[in-house]
């Protein structure tokens, strides 16, 4: 199956099957979906040694191709990671089913009652890279939210993904749900992605989980709505009404708890009225942990070993032990900085002044805004969503961490008694 | 200002100004927004004769160009329609402000409290055709929901739109809100639309209000999310458990109350068990009102003057006194038909069987699903939204009639007490 026409036909076949399965899944009851999820988890556990064996094929190829150790890490399945995958699927089974509930039912003057019902989106395409655990995670979230899915993992994980897909099919079969509810794209040809992101008669939404290159390609080429994640240039602003000890603790945690995550602090903003009190202490922590500091002149006056920040630093998502630091006059200048340089992901203020906290919450236009907490909390689990399919930096539909609810929509339901419009 | 580069610069200037105004509007309190809306309404009334005079210029050009009477109708402003516009703006002022409320605040095991705050989308671009009243309606909805807007009306209404824009600016000024909160594109060059739909650094969402050609162009060329309306191929399914009198009443109203609207019935589906009882009566009504009937063989056996329906008829959005009619076995065949040929806009079932009604509500994947009511109710006013910017046939973000809430989004807010992640 290498010719372009064949791939097109194959992908459209997946699309048609997914659309048909989506109709069945949309009306499946919670018990059937949970039964399938538990059966999938059991099958993953029972197949653990086979999954690890198939994964070895992918690993051998990755080593042959000279991939780096971070890549190999992401790709590797072990008995422990398979168990983790199975547990993740069971956790999704334990979440409340968002589908079918009618809310806000209200009687109108005409006599009709109008409400909203939460319903699945339909068919979700998930395009991801090396981590094979995404296959199980994403399938579980789509299944629980009543959506069919088409999973397109990286070619580097194809043997692992096929083996996981077999476990999922076995679970679906046990619960009497259509096997096409979860389909893994079997070809590694890149043309398959091109088809997937343009067949809008079959795919309702695309969730890319991968690097910026992948998302940039999809933004250029896709005509289907996406739940997508761009940059995470996160700020902590330390107000002059902050508790100094809390300020140091949050600046430390937001930057250093993990360097490579999207909700990590990249730029620290400090009010000039408190800079002399907190910046040397924060710098001491950063210095001890090997965080490179790049500051504006006012910062460098207080932190002599900070390098001079350039204009590019304020835009940078380092994902590394580097922090940009700027001293600002106060709240307004901090919010102006965030509006200009930020990426609308996650921003926090440290202050004991309630009015300023309120202004920051209201006026900073980011998916997650925080008062007196570390930006590292911006995460589906920490926010109580139970699980997350991704974090959205878009403004429409879902903002921030996206859980089951973000994989559903609401339609209007009208209960009438024979009313007609006059 | 005709050179392409000049138009680009002009549109980007509007974009920058809108972005700046959006930040101010997002924090504007309800009183200021309502004050502006009332001042706009007052100014529209005070300028009524001027608006009508400016409108005459547009009308003269339209007549010169040989436009048809429907076009002239849509374009015409009268003292009465200006009063209507002013009243519409006041009605938006009376709606509840959706912005700023924090809901679902919940304490997490870590100690942080997580909730959601409803916030404006930012900058909304509205692209519309001849009706100048859209200028006032859309501006009012965007303003109340805290969004800046860029309005691009048709060149055929440019004098009318400029005059309405002047009234809006006067109202904004009285309330101390930025004049750039509402900007009307002053050039009639089509290149302006090309800029507007690609400057995603300034525009958060596009709302096209126009025909299919406009929407098709935007779908091809735009990279900015849209709230858009495609086809309205609406169905009424008369179940064999329907009240026959109610069935006739709803089939009549859904088809004939207005022919040209998107929520008008296009295809009538009738269960074979009740067809002989209701179809002749419905046909008599349609016949009397001059509605052309196109049926499948079973329909034609009962309605001899119905023409033979072709495959294309099941897909057709006639927007005219024509109805496609098909006899189906029952609920499942009706839902299969709707899934295959429908446009996911509005579909209704007439039945006294509660289980079937429930299945129809849950399983028919349309923006509005109804039991025992006319499809003509699918409308923002009828649904209680107060006003509508449009009807969405998309699944993400907003489905069905879109009111103020659809022009907002929710961000996460985190209230901490110094918590950090471990």
- Measure in Å the smallest separation between the Cα of A375 and chain B Cα atoms: 8
- pLDDT at residue A15, rounded to an integer: 97
pLDDT of A70: 86
Q: Give, in order, the Cα–Cα distances in Å from B403 to each of B98, B227, B380, B383, B388.
A: 10, 11, 7, 10, 4
pLDDT the model gives residue A220: 84
How would you classify the pairing of strands A123-128 and B102-107? unpaired
Distance CA A380, CA A83 (A): 21
Can you read off the two tokens belonging to residue A114? 């109008």
What's the whole-number mean pLDDT along residues B116-144? 94
pLDDT of residue A390: 86
| pLDDT greater than 70 at residue B365 | yes
Query: Closest Cα to residue B183, out of B153, B206, B146, B150?
Result: B150
Contact between A411 and B368 using a beta-carbon 8 Å cutoff:
yes
- Give me the residues paired with residue A413 across strands: A115, B369
B416 and A361 in contact by Cβ < 8 A?
A: no
Mean pLDDT (chain A) is 94
Phi/psi at B415 (nearest 5 deg)?
-105, 115
Instruction: Identify the pLDDT of residue A179.
Output: 97
Please say whether the beta carbons of B250 and B372 come within 8 A: yes
pLDDT tens figures, A112-129: 999 999 999 999 999 998
pLDDT > 90 in chain B, percent: 85
The Cα–Cα gap between B201 and A343 comes to: 11
Q: Percent helix, strand and coil across chain A, each rounded to 5?
A: 50, 20, 30
Distance from CA of A235 to the nearest CA of B (A): 14
Average pLDDT over residues B262-285: 98
| A225-251: b (≥16 Cβ within 10 Å) or e | bbbbbbbbbbbbbbbbbbbeebbbbbb
Flag whether pLDDT at A10 surpasses 70.
yes
Of the pLDDT bands very low, low, confident and very high (cuts 50, 70, 90), residue B104 is confident
**Chain B interface disruption, residue of A315, A396, A422, most B CBs within 10 A:** A396
Give the per-residue pLDDT at A52. Answer: 97
Q: Which helix (H) or strand (E) holds B125?
A: strand B123-128
Asked whether residue A331 carries a pLDDT value surpassing 90, the answer given is yes
| Residue B373 β-bridge partners | A419
Tokens of A352: 């004991």
Identify all chain A residues contacting B411, using CB atoms and an 8 Å cutoff: 365-369, 399-400
What number is the average pLDDT over the span A90-101? 94
Residue A49 exposure: Cα atoms within 13 Å on the Cβ side: 0
Give the distance from residue A53's alpha carbon to the nearest chain B alpha carbon, in angstroms: 34
- DSSP calls for A287-325: HHTT-EEEE-HHHHHH-TTPEEPPHHHHH----SSEEEE
How many Cα atoms are found within 13 Å in the side-chain-facing hemisphere of B235? 33
Contact B363 A121 (CB under 8 A): no
Partner residue opposite A420 with nearest CB, options B249, B410, B415:
B249
> B108 vs A418: CB contact, 8 Å cut-off?
no
How would residue B230 be classed by pLDDT, with cut points 50, 70 and 90?
confident
Give the pLDDT band (50/70/90) at residue B15.
very high
Q: Supply the DSSP string of A181-236, one letter for each residue.
A: GEEE-----THHHHHHTT-TTT-SEEEEES-HHHHHHHHHH--S-B-------EEE
Taking only Cα atoms into account, the Rg of chain A, rounded to an integer number of angstroms, comes to 24
Q: Is the confidence at residue B1, as pLDDT, over 70?
A: no
Q: What percent of chain B has pLDDT over 70?
A: 100
On the CB side of B361, CA atoms within 13 Å amount to 26
pLDDT at B43: 98
At residue B329, φ and ψ (nearest 5 deg) are: -65, -45
Q: How far is CA B54 from the centre of its chain?
A: 27
Could you tell me which residue, B122 or B218, shows the higher pLDDT? B122
How confident is the model over B246-266, as pLDDT tens digits? 999 999 999 999 998 999 999
Q: How far apart are CA B382 and CA B19, in angstroms?
A: 33
Average pLDDT of B380-394?
88
Q: What is the pLDDT of residue A348?
A: 98
pLDDT at residue B223 tops 70:
yes
- pLDDT single digits (tens) B337-354: 999 999 999 999 999 999
Q: What is the mean pLDDT of chain B?
A: 94
Chain B CB contacts of A105 below 8 Å = none
Minimal Cα distance from A413: which residue of B?
Answer: B369
Selected residue of A101, A110, A114, A261 to mutate for chain B interface (largest B Cβ count, 10 A): A114
A407 three-class SS: helix
Q: What is the mean pLDDT of residues A311-337?
A: 97
Q: Which of A28-32, A229-233, B104-108 has the lowest mean pLDDT?
A: A229-233
Quick one: average pLDDT of B386-404?
89
**Model pLDDT, residue B2:** 56
Indicate the pLDDT class of residue A190, thresholds 50, 70 and 90.
Answer: confident
Does A235 have pLDDT greater than 80? Answer: yes
A1 has a pLDDT exceeding 60: no
Structure tokens at A218: 């999809």
Distance from C-alpha of B147 to C-alpha of B119, rounded to nearest angstrom: 9
Task: Among A337-346, B132-141, B384-393, name the one with the lowest average pLDDT.
Answer: B384-393
B107 pLDDT more than 90: yes
Gap between the Cα atoms of A271 and A298, Å rounded: 11
Q: Would you state the pLDDT for residue B291?
A: 98
Q: How many residues does chain A have?
A: 422
Give the pair of three-digit tokens for residue B26: 């997002």
Cβ-Cβ contacts under 8 Å, B417 against chain A: 372-373
B395 vs A contacts (CB less than 8 Å): 121-122, 204-205, 225, 409
Q: What is the pLDDT of residue A228?
A: 85
Cα–chain center distance at A306: 33
Contacts of B341 (CB under 8 A, 6+ apart): B233, B267, B314, B315
Three-state DSSP at A278 gives helix
Band (pLDDT 50/70/90 cuts) for residue A2 is: low
Average pLDDT over residues A346-374: 97
Local confidence band at A294 (pLDDT 50, 70, 90 cut-offs):
very high
Q: What is the ipTM of this complex?
A: 0.91
Candidate from A276-290, A346-360, B119-133 with smallest mean pLDDT: B119-133
| A222 — pLDDT class (breaks 50, 70, 90) | confident
**With 80 as the cut, is the pLDDT of residue B113 above it?**
yes
* Residue B268 · residue B255 · CB < 8 Å: yes
- Lowest-pLDDT choice from B130-134, B239-243, B308-312: B130-134
Query: Is residue A106 packed enough to be buried (19+ CB in 10 Å), middle (13-18) or exposed (0-12)?
Result: exposed
Mean pLDDT for B28-47 is 98
Q: How far is residue A293's CA from residue A316's CA, in Å, rounded to a whole number?
A: 13
On the question of pLDDT at A223 being above 70, the answer is yes
User: What is residue A344's predicted lDDT score, i.e. its pLDDT?
Assistant: 94
pLDDT in the model for residue B329: 98
B390: left (phi over 0), alpha (psi -120 to 50) or beta: left
Distance, in Å, from the CA atom of A24 to the CA atom of A413, rounded to the nearest integer, reads 20
**pLDDT, average across residues B147-170:** 96
- pLDDT tens-digit series, residues B171-222: 999 999 999 999 999 998 889 999 999 998 999 999 998 778 888 888 888 8
Q: Which residues of B387-406 are buried (b: 16+ CB within 10 A; e: fewer)?
A: bbbbbbbbbbbbbbbbbbeb
* Contact (Cβ atoms closer than 8 angstroms) between residue B331 and residue B239: yes
Closest CA to B314 of B288, B342, B293: B342
In Å, how far are A246, A265, A272, A397, B92 from A293, measured between CA atoms? 20, 12, 18, 37, 50
The closest alpha carbon to B255, from B210, B296, B285, belongs to B285
């Amino acid at each position: 199956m290498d010719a372009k026409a064949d791939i097109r036909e194959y992908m459209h076949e997946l699309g048609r099957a997914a659309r048909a399965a989506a109709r069945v899944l949309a009306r499946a009851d919670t018990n059937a979906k949970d039964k399938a999820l538990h059966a999938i988890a059991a099958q993953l556990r029972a197949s653990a040694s086979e999954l690890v064996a198939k994964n070895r094929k992918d690993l051998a190829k990755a080593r042959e191709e000279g991939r780096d150790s971070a890549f190999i890490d992401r790709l590797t399945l072990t008995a422990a990671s398979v168990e983790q995958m199975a547990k993740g699927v069971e956790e999704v089974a334990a979440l409340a089913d968002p589908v079918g509930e009618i809310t806000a039912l209200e009687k109108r003057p005409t006599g009709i009652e109008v409400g909203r019902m939460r319903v699945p989106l339909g068919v979700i395409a998930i395009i991801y890279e090396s981590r094979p655990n995404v296959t199980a995670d994403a399938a579980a979230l789509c299944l629980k939210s009543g959506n069919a899915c088409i999973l397109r993992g990286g070619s580097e994980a194809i043997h692992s993904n096929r083996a996981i897909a077999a476990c999922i099919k076995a679970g679906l079969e046990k619960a009497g749900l259509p096997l096409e509810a979860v389909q893994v794209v079997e070809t590694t040809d890149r043309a398959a992605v091109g088809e997937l992101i343009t067949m809008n008669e079959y795919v309702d939404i695309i969730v890319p989980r991968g690097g910026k290159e992948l998302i940039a390609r999809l933004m250029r080429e896709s005509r289907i709505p996406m739940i997508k994640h761009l940059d995470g240039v996160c700020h902590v602003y330390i107000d002059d009404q902050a508790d100094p000890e809390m300020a140091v603790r949050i600046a430390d945690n937001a930057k250093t708890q993990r360097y490579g995550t999207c909700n990590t602090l990249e730029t620290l903003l400090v009010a000039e009225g408190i800079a002399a009190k907190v910046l040397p202490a924060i710098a001491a922590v950063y210095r001890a942990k090997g965080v490179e500091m790049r500051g504006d002149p006012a910062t460098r006056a207080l932190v002599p070993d900070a390098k001079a920040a350039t204009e590019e630093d304020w835009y940078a998502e380092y994902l590394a032990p580097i922090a940009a630091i700027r001293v600002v006059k106060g709240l307004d200048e901090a919010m102006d900085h965030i509006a200009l340089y930020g990426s609308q992901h996650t921003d926090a203020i440290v202050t004991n002044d309630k009015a300023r906290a309120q202004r920051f919450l209201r006026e900073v236009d980011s998916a997650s805004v925080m008062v007196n907490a570390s930006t590292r909390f911006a995460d589906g689990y920490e926010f109580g969503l139970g699980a997350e399919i991704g974090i959205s930096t878009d403004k429409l539909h879902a903002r921030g961490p996206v859980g089951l609810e973000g994989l559903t929509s609401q339609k209007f339901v009208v209960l009438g008694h024979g009313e007609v419009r006059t």
